[in-house]
Amino acid sequence: MPKALAAAAAALVVAFAFSGPSTATTGGHFTTGTAHTTWRGTVHTMNVFTFFGQEVGCSEATYEGTTAFTTTESVSIVPNYEKCEFGLNGEYEGVVGVTTNECFFQLTIGKQAEADNTAHLVCPPGKQMEFHLINQRMAIPPQTFEGVAFTPTSEFGTNALTIDFTATGMTVHCEAGIYCAVSGTQWLGGLDGSLTMRGLDTAGEPVAIQATGSED
């Protein structure tokens, strides 16, 4: 079993034992064309994390999870950030290492799939997602955030989803570096960008996935 898929399956089993919110603005649901479906996402537009005006832009990343039913109220996806750079004002340079620490995103849908939905960053107890720069370390702790939209698209003739992040007001931490002394250790941050999410059956063949709000 691929490492990312194994991690995703493990994440689904232990999700409720991890540090993370237990409530969400839900009501909608996800559907798939087969009961056991692998959800596999790649970067559509750069995924940009903001930390008190600073940016970490990831141009290469994968997200993966599994669902066991044709209809579910949430989907958990495990991120793997492969190429990330430090940035200011949209210009990026310098390698940033990202340690996810088994954290994952739990996606839910409210009244409208293409509107402002709720997501959770869920992590094991005492863990958070870490970003390593030269002489600086930042982190995002477990939390609930608004700003996720699901837009239907097609990949090779099969229904897929574009997932857009427009989250602001997230809590981020400055763990080490001069900025911690100057600006404090807790900042406001966010996540912007999008990914293309596809569904695959147990044979690795494309399968349709959809997102529907309670009022769609």
Give residue 5's pLDDT band: very low, low, confident or very high (50, 70, 90). Answer: very low
State the total domains in the chain.
1
Count of residues in the chain = 216
- For residue 153, what is the enclosing H or E element? strand 143-155
* pLDDT at residue number 23: 40
pLDDT at residue 11, rounded to an integer: 41
Residues 6+ apart with CB under 8 A from 89: none
Whether 171 maps to a domain, the answer reads yes
pLDDT per residue as tens digits for the range 128-187: 999 998 788 999 999 999 999 999 999 989 999 999 999 999 999 989 887 787 777 888
The pLDDT of residue 53 is 77
Q: Looking at residue 26, what is its pLDDT?
A: 61
* pLDDT at 24 (0 to 100): 46
What whole-number percentage of the chain has pLDDT above 70?
88
Following DSSP, what letter does each residue of 87-145 receive, concatenated?
A: EETTEEEEE-EEE-TT-EEEEE--S-TTS-EEEEEEB-TT--EEEEETTEEEEE-SEEE
Percentage of the chain beyond pLDDT 90 is: 70
Mean pLDDT of the chain: 87
pLDDT beyond 80 at 16:
no
Identify whether 20 is part of a domain.
no
Q: Which helix (H) or strand (E) holds 181?
A: helix 178-183
Name the pLDDT band for 104 (thresholds 50, 70, 90). very high
Residue at 36 is within a domain: yes
Terminal C-alpha separation, the chain: 36
**Is 13 a residue whose pLDDT tops 80?**
no
> Domain range spanning residue 74?
3-13+25-212
Whether the predicted pLDDT of 93 surpasses 50: yes
Task: Using pLDDT thresholds of 50, 70 and 90, give the confidence band for residue 7.
Answer: very low
Q: What DSSP state is assigned to residue 13?
A: H
**Does the residue 18 lie in any domain?**
no
